[in-house]
Chain A
Amino acid sequence: MALYSEKVMDHFRNPRNVGVIEDADGVGEVGNAKCGDIMKMYLKIQDGIITDAKFETFGCGSAIASSSMATELIKGKPVSQALELTNKAVVEALDGLPAHKIHCSVLAEEAIKNALDDYYSRHPESKN
């Protein structure tokens, strides 16, 4: 069996939503270079809806694929729904990850939650 599923390789080779949102409403960064994975997520939010999501990732194939998939899963969705995104959903959408790569999906979940926290701290009024 190959190391990664075809889905993972597709999102690794052709990552969706790569880049930066200069006027992002929320930015989240997780991981550290020492461990070999850093993910940065940028969100554009309008009326409680994530209208755009972009990412930058320093990391292995599954880290890049997880970031790509996670942004796809939340784009166009209400913030409330994005908050419920789990790493498991990312893994499932990627048709699985090897056991020692699950942490990549956890990072993707955390990066999004981090970006949403940033959004709430900038827009405390939207919390209600």
Chain B
Amino acid sequence: MNIYADNAATTAMSAAAIDAMNLYLRDEFGNPSSLYSAGQRAREALDSARERIAACINADPRCIIFTSGGSESDNQAIISAAELGKRAGKTHIITSPIEHHAVLHTLKKLQKQGFDVTYLPVGTDGIVSAASVAAAIRPDTCLVTVMFANNEIGTVQPVAEIGAVCAERKVLFHTDAVQAVGHLPVDVTAQKISMLSASAHKFHGPKGVGFLYAARGIKLTPLIEGGAQERGLRAGTENVAGICAMAAALEESAASLEENSRKLACLRRKLIKGLSSIPHSALNGDAEKRLPSNVNFCFEGIEGESLLLLLDDKGISASSGSACTSGSLDPSHVLLAIGRPHAVAHGSLRISLGEDATEEQVEYIISSVTEVVAYLRGFSPVWRDLCAGKSEFIL
């Protein structure tokens, strides 16, 4: 059985997205900045894509700028807010320790330039509280940036509450919604979001394209200088095919969002229940306040990469927060932030289901993971010591 269970990493493109892309690659290849009709048709396609994308998040189309994806959007949102803050003498930024590196590394850079960054506490449930945001806001706070849903453990943050706090205190609120757009109800107006980042390939669009929403009145700082595309906020000839495909993918995801969420949440519960019966395992993050597709577990006594490789042999594509898979010496910063010790964080597994997942697949995942974990524990010196009582079980 082949199961792609890494939809948090990327998703397969939808047929509608591929069709939209093909049209603008093959036939309508005009440059939207050209004044002849082929160019103007491309311009119209861009405008239409902007309107349709804006409608999916209840935004004014003029507030959407197209970018190369989530990382660029995060960078631009944060750098813009920092720039505005600096001019007003405000150099304090509030964030969470479980943000994506596109946010965390941008903030690290700003810290070197003199910005003061507060990392809010996050509980073992992987959720930041709006009250902690309210308590951290200072007169010199220029930005609160908290993700909509976490990319590793899937926990959904109280975005509307944080938005309300920020609106009341007149502080800009940016949310990295890369995992949320197309999967959770996003309404920038109701949720009082000042800036939002999204990436097409997380909702069945193509890679290398995304968008940034910035509420009216927020002056963005361009990261790329050049032509006057995107009202001078993002130079470079627009990725017309990618943008049109993104709009097609998002419309489709938004239309089936409720139905898919209900279905996936059922499968998620089944998966959590099944994996919980593996001894000395634990779910990471709140069981219900999480993306419908996301399941993330730690298994004591084993290491994540070997688990992934053996699952791959069984046809299951999944992901882990172990150091070996992160390419650094430390395991996932998210797992560490929610209080998992290093030894346990190395043995993590993230499964992110696709909308086409079935009960049968979930059962296969449960039996495969159970088998592989038991096999790896069978020759793990860590497991042996735990079982012999030489060290204490954490989970």
Known: A13-B313, A18-B379, A33-B342. A59 touches B384 (CB 8 A): no
CB-CB under 8 A from B342, the residues of chain A are 33-36
Count, chain A residues at interface, CB 8 A? 27
Rounded to whole Å, the gap between the CB of A12 and the closest CB of chain B is 7
Interface 9-mer from B52-60, B101-109, B198-206, B323-331: B323-331
Residues A69-128 near B (CB distance < 8 A): 100-101
Interface contact A56-B384, CB-CB below 8 Å: yes
Instruction: Point out the residue from A35, A38, A100 that lies within 8 Å of B381, measured CB to CB.
Output: A38
CB-CB under 8 A from A12, the residues of chain B are 306, 309
Interface contact B381-A58, CB-CB below 8 Å: yes
The answer to whether B305 has its CB under 8 Å from any CB of chain A is: yes
The answer to whether B380 has its CB under 8 Å from any CB of chain A is: yes
List the B residue with the shortest CB-CB distance to A3.
B309
CB-CB under 8 A from B380, the residues of chain A are 38, 56-58
Interface contact B343-A33, CB-CB below 8 Å: yes
CB-CB under 8 A from A35, the residues of chain B are 323, 329, 342
Specify the main secondary structure of chain A where it touches its partner. mixed
Interface contact A60-B379, CB-CB below 8 Å: no
Residues A32-64 near B (CB distance < 8 A): 33-40, 55-61, 63-64
State the CA gap A35–B330 with chains docked (Å). 7
List the A residue with the shortest CB-CB distance to B322.
A36
List the A residue with the shortest CB-CB distance to B324.
A60
Residues B317-339 near A (CB distance < 8 A): 322-324, 327, 329, 331
State the CA gap A116–B250 with chains docked (Å). 61
CB-CB under 8 A from A34, the residues of chain B are 342-343
State the CA gap A35–B343 with chains docked (Å). 7
How many CB-defined contacts (below 8 Å) exist between A and B? 66
The answer to whether B238 has its CB under 8 Å from any CB of chain A is: no
Known: A15-B379, A33-B346, A38-B381. A58 touches B322 (CB 8 A): no
By CB atoms of chain B within 10 A, which of A18, A34, A37, A60 has the most? A60
Interface contact A40-B381, CB-CB below 8 Å: yes
CB-CB under 8 A from A19, the residues of chain B are 379
The answer to whether B136 has its CB under 8 Å from any CB of chain A is: no
Interface contact A36-B331, CB-CB below 8 Å: yes
List the B residue with the shortest CB-CB distance to A54.
B379
Q: Mark A3-24, 1 if CB is under 8 A from B, else 0.
A: 0000001001101001110000
The answer to whether A25 has its CB under 8 Å from any CB of chain B is: no
State the CA gap A38–B347 with chains docked (Å). 13
Rounded to whole Å, the gap between the CB of B111 and the closest CB of chain A is 26
CB-CB under 8 A from A61, the residues of chain B are 305-306, 309, 324
Rounded to whole Å, the gap between the CB of A36 and the closest CB of chain B is 4
CB-CB under 8 A from B322, the residues of chain A are 36, 60
Rounded to whole Å, the gap between the CB of B109 and the closest CB of chain A is 24
Interface contact A38-B306, CB-CB below 8 Å: no
Interface contact B379-A56, CB-CB below 8 Å: yes
A-B residue pairs in contact (CB < 8 Å), sample of 13:
A13-B310, A13-B313, A19-B379, A34-B342, A35-B329, A36-B303, A36-B322, A55-B379, A57-B379, A58-B302, A58-B382, A59-B303, A60-B305
List the interface of chain A (C-beta within 8 A of B).
Answer: 9, 12-13, 15, 18-20, 29, 33-40, 55-61, 63-64, 100-101
List the interface of chain B (C-beta within 8 A of A).
Answer: 301-306, 309-310, 313, 322-324, 327, 329, 331, 342-343, 346, 378-384
